[in-house]
Amino acid sequence: MREELSEYLDGLQEHMPLAFWKLAEIFQYQVFELCEEPGEKKEESGKIYLIPYMMNDAIEDYLILENCRMVGEAVKEEQVGRMELSARISGGEGAYVLVVRQKILSSGEENVFTLHFEKIRECRTCYQYHEIGHFWMEGQEQWRRLVYMAGTIYDKFAYVGEDVCTEGELELLRLAEFAPFRNWSPVRESLEEKYPATYEGIDCMEQFAEMAKDHRYLLLLRLYRRFPSRFLEQWLTKALTSPNREQLYEIILRAMEAESATYAKRDYGTAFHREIEEKRRQAEQRLIREGFAGTYPKYHRGELEIIIVEEHPFTVMEWDHFQFRIYYMVSQVKRQTKCCNQVRNRGFFRGRGRKSWIFTEDGENVADRIRKKR
């Protein structure tokens, strides 16, 4: 593995710190990005630059170049389009030199810049992710959100390792390998190649189906294990939309919430936290004025239930465009409709007497926004 990585960072030596090997991985996957840490720095002392390694809602893992000076200028993809990256490292502790070449594919032109720095180190922090919601696809958003969380755990494990996962997360990530669950992708692209189907994925879903006492889905799972066909996969995928899967959904959601809650919440500093708390207060007051009862983030009024989820920025590298958003997941279930009252987001399941929609803090219907982008 190390011999292979040395091909992507010329000059890489066996004795160099682990952070350099992660830097080589970044060039291997062509995802090198350089972010300058804000703040007043004396010119002679250099600056601090951050290089993202693995950044998602569950973990922020990045490399830090200390006391760094740049010679030349880095260009960004949004300015010139796609680029091919290559790099060379030289020097030693206290005096490293990283030369980066950016070949602009559209024009064939090449840009070169050099980073002189004293030290490289890795910074890694795991965070809660169960209060977060992203909505890029319409329909069955309750399942798509769970798939997103399972994928987030899976990616954390795949890129950083089991050291950043709880025992429960190591079990939960297998859900991403259960094709009928994974088929409710939160994005337009299929997740089939990213999360290949495994029997461990079936095992994981079977355990949850047993906990939910969902005997009908268990029967289908055992049939699928013996005859793993595309037909049965689609049958199991569609079966997840049935109100009969309410309890299964709630048990998986609670399991993910329990594992996520073992981590710290993101800390943005006092000023940003005041802004966030004010948005939450306004959201609650809005619902109370409209006759809803409850406490953040769950409210109800008659046949309606609202679950608030949030979109959180990273704690670093998003200084210039800090964005915290609130989404309202609204479920309506007619009183005469048979359902489990302990389950959240019941209106998102298919069936007579059920209705669901999502809107933003600005009142925009998320489904309308998704349709406009098609």
The torsion angles phi and psi of 199, rounded to 5 degrees, stand at -70, -25
Query: Measured between alpha carbons, how far is 83 from 80 in angstroms, rounded to an integer?
Result: 8
| Amino acid 79: pLDDT | 86
What is the full DSSP assignment across 166-205?
-HHHHHHGGGGG-HHHHTS-SSSS--TTTS---HHHHHHH
- CA-closest candidate to residue 231, choices 243, 218, 220: 220
- Does residue 214 have a pLDDT over 60? yes
- The domain locations on the chain are 2-126, 141-372
**160-169: long-range contacts (C-beta < 8 A, 24 or more apart)?**
160/54, 160/59, 160/61, 160/124, 164/59, 164/124, 164/126, 166/259, 166/262, 168/255, 168/258, 168/259, 169/259
Angle between helices 230-239 and 215-226 (to 10 degrees): 160
The torsion angles phi and psi of 73, rounded to 5 degrees, stand at -145, 135
| Amino acid 41: pLDDT | 54
Angle between helices 199-211 and 246-260 (to 10 degrees): 110
Q: Which residue has the higher pLDDT, 186 or 15?
A: 186
- Does residue 2 have a pLDDT over 80? no
Residue 320: pLDDT band with limits 50, 70, 90: low
Instruction: Please state the pTM of the whole predicted model.
Output: 0.93
Whether the CB-CB separation of 128 and 261 falls below 8 Å is answered with yes
- Does residue 39 have a pLDDT over 70? no
Q: Spell 11-27 as b/e; 16+ CB within 10 A means b.
A: ebeeebeebbbbbbbbb
Mean pLDDT of 299-320: 92
Q: How much of the chain is helix, strand and coil, in % rounded to 5? A: 40, 25, 35
SS3 category, 2: helix
Lowest mean pLDDT among 27-41, 118-132, 218-232: 27-41
Q: What is the pLDDT of residues 66-82, one digit of tens each?
A: 999 999 999 988 888 99
DSSP, res 347: G
> Any bridge partners for residue 10, and if so which?
88
Mean pLDDT of 297-310: 97
- CA-closest candidate to residue 257, choices 162, 193, 330, 169: 169
Residue 226: pLDDT band with limits 50, 70, 90: very high
- CA-closest candidate to residue 185, choices 240, 140, 118: 140
Residue 3: pLDDT band with limits 50, 70, 90: confident
Map tokens 């006492």 to a residue.
213
- Does residue 172 have a pLDDT over 90? yes
Residue 349: pLDDT band with limits 50, 70, 90: very high
DSSP, res 312: -
- Does residue 178 have a pLDDT over 70? yes
Residue 341: pLDDT band with limits 50, 70, 90: low
Q: Which residue has the higher pLDDT, 94 or 62?
A: 62
- Does residue 258 have a pLDDT over 70? yes
